[in-house]
Amino acid sequence: MRVLVIGVGNMGSTYVRCLLNSHFTSSEQLFLFDKKALPSQAIKHVSPQNVLTEPSKEISTADIIMLAVKPQDFAELSAQIAPFLNSNQIVLSIMAGVKIAEISNLLNVPKVVRAMPNLPAQIGMGMTVFSSASGLDKSELLTIQNLLNTTGKTIYVENEELLNVATAISGSGPAYVFYFMNEMISKAMELGFRKAEAELMVTQTFLGAVHLLGNNDLSCSEWIAKVASKGGTTEAALKSFSENTMHHSISSGVQAAFNRAVELGK
Ligand SMILES: NC(=O)c1ccc[n+]([C@@H]2O[C@H](COP(=O)([O-])OP(=O)(O)OC[C@H]3O[C@@H](n4cnc5c(N)ncnc54)[C@H](OP(=O)(O)O)[C@@H]3O)[C@@H](O)[C@H]2O)c1
């Protein structure tokens, strides 16, 4: 499978690493194109002749072309690469907010997939939600799912609009978790722990809770009930969260992210 990654920045280099580590493709079959000279670290596992410095006929030989440039760079890029593309190739975009129809129109290709990954893809713990144009058959979609699975877990949605929800939940989600963790770390320090200890306590607490949830069928509410005994400390915290309408803050924060994703996609 010949894969071309266009835009080898934060996300592009994550895919390069994951695609090679998982043997989805080989260093001979993987091509890179970025408008600037790539750092040696980014290209060390790729055959030197496969690092393109300008759009060239190599583009037409790729089975899958991944677009990992910033959305604002897509118009310029599309004009550069469109002449080299053909209708058998699959274009996989991870650009936030750029719709399938727009990609298909600008590149004049029918087989377009749009994916919304998140930052933990960097360590193979990502969550990617993806959707596609109708031009792809089942086996092509499965190939793309296998490619995306190299960075973590995936969900396919027929309705492209759900990618805006994915942006607000799994795309931005890691930042919400870090926000909550940061507050807990600060409070632990304020109440007497050293920074390194506070970070360890909070990180291990999150890891433990996530693994508990993932290892059986209990829901979040059921786990909360197990931790919060009547008249105890957890109940006191939960009562305070509720009085401060924390559930509302979380809900309206996610809604704001969703609204912004819709707005950016216009
Ligand atoms: N970071 C995330 O967590 C995340 C999550 C989901 C989706 N995404 C999406 O992933 C995409 C990439 O994000 P990123 O953070 O990896 O961006 P990035 O680090 O800026 O990488 C993009 C790379 O593409 C290069 N580039 C720009 N225009 C080009 C062109 N015409 N031809 C070839 N290369 C070109 C850039 O070069 P210059 O630096 O010289 O411009 C840069 O090296 C974005 O569309 C973003 O919406 C990111």
Cα of 69 vs centre of ligand 1, distance in Å, is: 3
Burial of 208 (0-12, 13-18, 19+ CB in 10 A): exposed
pLDDT of residue 47: 87
In the chain, where are the structural domains located? Answer: 3-158, 173-264
Give 102-120 pLDDT, tens digit per residue: 999 999 999 999 999 999 9
Residue 228 confidence class, pLDDT cut points 50, 70, 90: very high
73: Cβ below 6 Å to ligand 1?
Answer: yes
Give 234-256 pLDDT, tens digit per residue: 999 999 999 999 999 999 999 99
The CATH code that applies to domain 173-264 is: 1.10.3730.10
Is residue 144 within 8 A of residue 132, CB to CB? The reply is yes
pLDDT band at 152 (very low <50, low <70, confident <90, very high): very high
Percent over 70 (pLDDT), the chain: 100
For atom 46 of ligand 1, the residue with the nearest CA is: 95
Q: Is 183 exposed, middle or buried (0-12, 13-18, 19+ CB in 10 A)?
A: exposed
- As a CATH number, domain 3-158 is 3.40.50.720
Q: Please give, one letter per residue, the 3-state secondary structure of 55-88.
A: CCHHHHHCCEEEECCCHHHHHHHHHHHHHHCCCC
